């Protein structure tokens, strides 16, 4: 028997962080899934224990200021796309306003740290979201293109193919075929 699950990664991350941090009896606020504000001073030994416990779950404490800003850029982009908040303004303007830095600075810093551009990261995140919409929602490609501010279905399809190597329609056919095979195996 197979069990198919839908997950809420933000919920899981918050739950893990809360469970692991509560053990230390330290006052804190979870600002978001990537940021914790400690409301009291933490000694070095406790800090290292927290880092070790969180590392066991795939969390890494970022201490370099450049990496912190890059992480905020990534988080802002992911939230923008995943929460259907793709702005009508250019993403460069949106990021500059949201993060209170010039886009030139953000772009240069992002490229320096990640060896890719913000634009490429946005495309990759949008395509991942398109895959999620195709997989878990009953939306047409036209609806998805509109939802993600693509100028046309052709533009969406072109970007999808350039990123994944297949068209969205081929991706849908693969999913349908897998579903049929899984249903045959169950029966």
3-state class (DSSP) for residue 31: strand
Residue 152 lies in a domain: no
The mean-pLDDT minimum among 43-52, 56-65, 85-94 falls in 85-94
pLDDT category of residue 178 using cuts at 50, 70 and 90: confident
The reply to whether 52 falls in a domain is yes
Residue 34 lies in a domain: yes
What digits encode the pLDDT tens for the residues 138-148?
Answer: 788 999 988 88
Is 23 within the bounds of a domain?
yes
| Model confidence band, residue 179 (pLDDT cutoffs 50, 70, 90) | confident
Instruction: Write down the pTM of the prediction.
Output: 0.71
> Total structural domains in the chain?
1
CA distance 115 to 171: 28
Q: What is the dihedral of CA 20, 22, 24, 28, to 10 degrees?
A: 110
Domain that holds residue 57: 12-61
pLDDT, one tens digit per residue, over 90-143 is: 888 889 999 999 999 999 999 999 999 999 999 999 999 999 888 888 788 999
**Assigned domain for 159 exists:** no
């Amino acid at each position: 028997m197979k069990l198919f699950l839908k997950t809420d990664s933000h919920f899981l991350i918050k739950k893990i962080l809360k469970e692991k941090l509560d053990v230390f009896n330290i006052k804190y606020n979870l600002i978001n899934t990537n940021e914790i504000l400690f409301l009291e001073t933490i000694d070095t030994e406790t800090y290292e224990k927290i880092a070790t416990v969180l590392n066991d779950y795939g969390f890494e404490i970022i201490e370099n200021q450049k990496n912190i800003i890059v992480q905020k850029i990534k988080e802002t982009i992911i939230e923008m796309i995943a929460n259907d908040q793709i702005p009508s303004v250019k993403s460069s303007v949106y990021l500059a306003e949201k993060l209170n830095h010039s886009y030139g600075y953000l772009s240069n810093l992002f490229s320096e740290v990640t060896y890719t551009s913000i634009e490429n990261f946005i495309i990759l995140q949008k395509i991942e979201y398109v895959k999620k919409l195709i997989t878990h929602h009953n939306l047409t490609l036209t609806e998805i293109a509109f939802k993600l501010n693509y100028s046309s279905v052709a533009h969406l399809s072109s970007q999808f193919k350039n990123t994944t190597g297949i068209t969205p329609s081929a991706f849908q056919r693969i999913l349908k075929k897998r579903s049929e095979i899984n249903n045959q195996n169950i029966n």
